[in-house]
Amino acid sequence: MSTHSNIKIGIIQFPGSNTERETFMACTRAGMEPVEFLWNNDPVELSELDGYIIVGGFSYEDRSRAGVIAALDPIMKQISIESEKNKPVLGICNGAQILVESGLVPGFKNNQIGIALTDNKRVKDGQVVGVGYYNTWANLKVNADPNRCAFTRSLEKDQIIKIPLAHGEGRFTMPESLLDNLIVNDQAVYLYCDNDGNTPNEFPINPNGSLYNLAAVCNNRGNIMAMMPHPERTENGDQIFSSMKEFIQMGNPITDHDLAHNQESYRLKSYSADESCTEWLVNMIITDNEAISVQNALIQLGYDVVLTRQTHWEIETAGEKENILEKIEASGELYNSNKEFIGERETSDGTVSILVHQKEDMHGRLKQESLTDRFQIDGLVKIKRGVVWNLSAKRGNIDTIINEILETNILFNPLSHECYRIN
């Protein structure tokens, strides 16, 4: 057991992290010693530390989607190992996204993915009033038994704290059956609420449309928590860090709960667009750093593949189609002709193309609203955005490799995306 004077907390940083200074200060105020730990440090050195905080920011520039590339880094495997020793792990904002994408939260066996953090959706009176990035101050209510989680022990049940948030993909989503399980297990740790502790599920009380007003969720053992708001940015959040210290001082006590939820295997479907729609496949003229990052992550996992990426637009119109499409193209909203162009579908032998759609297409919604309201383009019925990943293998059977790659979830999260094979 560590004593007050030598509690060492690893401040985990990936390329793009940006809140390490605030996190250092919060740990120091709580009487713990923050230790800088970069993604390329020797993961074995993590064993020398008492706990870990994965800071916020934009790891790997949120390529593919927020948190997923960092989740596959070797350092996260070691953090998983250390967490099995009941050491506390706190992920804040992008750190929360990394924990969710790594499967450490909610705590299924073998780190299966059970939750998604997806695009913000601000809903009021049943209407979507805003999407995308949002920053504000939010009230959070302790929704669990304070002794249940490593990050609530200094607080009381139903206590309210006011802390800032700033994110674009902070909306918790999951199957309703899993949510029911989390509520029963006291894993729904913090909820967005009003000044009186009420939890109406609408904006502005719920700033991102999270299911059940979820602001933070812990794993089944209570020692790992994914939290979207930023407690490190205000002294109002200091009790979360003092709770972490108390948890360590008490010998890392846990209350383990079984997650009785059966996660269905994802079945890849085939896809073809509606005949009434126009399809645009947009290629990069310049180097596609997003595709390179995902390809490098796959190579690091042992897959010797070549990967390219295309943005997929489906445009449904009513009226003079060609005239409408010309106006859309001229607007520059769907692609930038200085660095992108409309290309063709990949048809090479040995290449498999995977189309990924958001289940709730916030990007398509934003573009349609912009083209209609800002550019005054009439006749737009629907715009849908997707991403096409084209993969070929340098060796081995591509169909076998594709099935294995899909299991990594790097190309999509089955809780927030639909995935299709298109060749």
CA torsion 42-94-117-138 (nearest 10°) is: 150
Q: Which of 22, 101, 232, 340 is catalytic?
A: 232
Question: Among this protein's residues, is 93 annotated catalytic?
Answer: yes
331 neighbors 371 (Cβ within 8 angstroms)? yes
Burial 61-75 (b: 16+ CB within 10 A, else e): ebbbbbbbbbbbbeb
Q: Which of 20, 101, 193, 230 is catalytic?
A: 230
Consecutive H or E run containing 317 = strand 305-317
356 neighbors 421 (Cβ within 8 angstroms)? no
What sign does the dihedral 275-389-12-183 (CA atoms) show?
positive
Helix axes 20-29, 238-249, angle to 10 degrees: 60
Angle at 355 between CA 166 and CA 69, to 5 degrees: 45
Q: Which of 27, 93, 149, 193 is catalytic?
A: 93
58 neighbors 94 (Cβ within 8 angstroms)? yes
* Beta strand residue intervals within 82-146, DSSP E: 89-92, 116-118, 121-124, 127-131, 134-142
Place of tokens 């579908």: 345
Q: Which of 78, 108, 233, 62 has its CA nearest to residue 164?
A: 233
- Cα distances from 270 to residues 227, 421, 423, in angstroms, run 36, 5, 8
Question: Among this protein's residues, is 232 annotated catalytic?
Answer: yes
Residue 82 in tokens: 């250390």
414 neighbors 266 (Cβ within 8 angstroms)? yes
Burial 210-229 (b: 16+ CB within 10 A, else e): bbbbbbbbbbbbbbbbbbbb
Burial 265-282 (b: 16+ CB within 10 A, else e): ebeeeebebeeeeeebbb
Classify 251 in phi/psi space as left (phi over 0), alpha (psi -120 to 50) or beta.
Answer: left
How many Å apart are CA 263 and CA 260, to the nearest integer? 10
- Residue 106 φ then ψ, to 5°: -90, -5
Strand 89-92 relative to strand 51-54, pairing = parallel
Question: Among this protein's residues, is 193 annotated catalytic?
Answer: no
Instruction: Return the SS3 of 336.
Output: coil
Return the active site residues: 93, 230, 232
